[in-house]
Structure formats: structure tokens, C-alpha cells
């Protein structure tokens, strides 16, 4: 179910100049842009991932039906279901949990302290990382939200008046001031950026 929920929540927004022309699933946005380009081949579309604020490049060549098929929503898992014959044999012992071995550099006293803890260094480090993630979850969420707003704002409003001041307001957490400054920009741009900045539209969590 987590994969399906992530897929359902994934949305994109397309602009042609300062006008927002579509928002929704990638296939919906691609179709809307394809039709827009057939009406006016000279428009320059910009597509943004609403979760990150980063631009997405789309291949809009062909007919509307071809573009729709190209970006049709895929199943939550693109891997074919494996049969019992193809499934790897289960071995005895503890299941693999996706643990990745990487180098960690610490001072000797740090290693001595870790070695003295129940479970050893790996267990203690995983526990410390988990606790740090829990403690910093709110701050990390705000950082990802600020980053996505800035990513989109740099492209859409980088050449507009008060961009620098708006950037400072964003990273200072002064959303009221950011909104006031954004009212001087084209309506669709200001509305989109404030939607990305809203606490109600939280970015997807990175990691588990």
C-alpha cells in the first residue's frame, strides 16, 4: 500500500510563461501541454514536480493519444510478480533488512564507548540516527518545504522584482511577508509558490 499512496499523491504543475495551464498526474499534465502546443507551437512549457519544486522534462512529440500513453500512470510496482519457481530459496537465520556497510570514522574514545554499549556499535549507531531523525523531523520537513519553494521560485520569479527579498522571507519562515511580496508577481506564479509553501502540502518524506 505505501507505494500506491505515494503514486496517488504525486502531482505536477505546468506553466506556459506566467500562466498555469495544468496540474495533476503527469499524464494529465502532459496531455494538457500537448494540446497547448498544438494550438500554439511557440509556447515554452515549464513543468514542476510539486513535491520537490524541480523542473521535469517531458517528451511531447506525437499525437495526444501517444503522449497520454507515454506518461500513463503505471502500476505501483513495475516488477513482475515472481512465481514460486523463480523465487529465491529462503535460508535460515535472521532476514536481511537492507543493511548497507559503509565506512565510519571516529576517534578511539568513541569506538571504545560504542563497544561498551549493549548490542555493539552498529545497534547503537542505528538507534542514535533514529532518535536524531525523530527529534529533527519538523525541522527537516520545513527545510524540504523551503527548498521546493525556492527551486520553483528561482525559475518562475528569478527575474521578477523583489526576488531576493522574497527568498530571504522564505528562509526566515516569514510566510506572510513572502505572500505580500508574491502579490506583485503574476497571479498564477504567486498562488503556486504559496501553495508549495503551505504547511498543508508537506513534501514526501525522504527515507523511511
- Quick check: helix, strand or coil at residue 185? coil
Asked if pLDDT for residue 40 goes beyond 60, the answer is yes
Q: What is the pLDDT of residue 206?
A: 54
| DSSP H helices in 62-162 | 64-70, 108-115, 120-135, 137-157
- pTM score, whole prediction: 0.66
Residues 172 and 166: beta-carbon distance below 8 Å: no
* Integer-rounded Cα radius of gyration of the chain: 23
| DSSP H helices in 50-119 | 64-70, 108-115
- Per-residue pLDDT of 85-124, as tens digits, reads 444 454 555 445 566 777 778 888 888 888 888 877 788 8
d(CA 109, CA 138): 32
Q: What is the pLDDT of residue 73?
A: 65
Please calculate the CA angle 173-188-165 and round it to the nearest 5 degrees. 35
- Per-residue pLDDT of 114-155, as tens digits, reads 888 887 778 887 877 776 666 666 788 889 999 999 999 999
Amino acid at each position: 500500500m505505501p507505494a500506491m499512496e505515494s503514486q496517488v499523491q504525486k502531482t505536477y504543475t505546468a506553466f506556459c510563461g506566467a500562466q498555469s495551464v495544468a496540474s495533476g498526474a503527469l499524464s494529465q499534465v502532459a496531455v494538457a501541454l500537448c494540446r497547448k502546443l498544438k494550438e500554439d507551437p511557440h509556447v515554452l512549457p515549464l513543468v514542476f514536480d510539486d513535491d520537490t519544486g524541480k523542473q521535469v522534462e517531458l517528451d511531447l512529440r506525437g499525437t495526444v493519444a501517444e503522449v497520454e500513453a507515454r506518461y500513463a500512470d503505471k502500476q505501483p510496482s513495475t516488477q513482475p510478480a515472481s512465481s514460486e519457481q523463480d523465487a529465491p530459496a529462503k535460508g535460515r537465520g535472521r532476514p536481511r533488512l537492507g543493511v548497507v556497510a559503509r565506512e565510519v570514522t571516529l576517534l578511539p574514545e568513541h569506538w571504545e564507548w560504542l563497544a561498551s554499549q549493549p548490542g555493539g556499535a552498529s545497534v547503537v549507531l542505528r538507534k542514535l540516527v533514529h532518535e536524531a531523525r525523530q527529534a529533527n523531523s519538523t525541522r527537516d520537513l520545513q527545510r524540504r518545504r523551503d527548498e521546493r519553494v525556492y527551486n520553483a521560485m528561482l525559475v518562475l520569479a528569478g527575474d521578477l522584482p523583489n526576488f531576493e527579498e522574497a527568498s530571504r522571507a522564505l528562509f526566515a519562515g516569514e510566510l506572510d511577508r513572502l505572500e505580500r511580496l508574491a502579490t506583485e508577481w503574476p497571479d498564477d506564479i504567486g498562488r503556486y509558490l504559496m501553495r508549495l509553501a503551505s504547511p498543508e502540502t508537506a513534501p514526501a518524506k525522504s527515507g523511511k
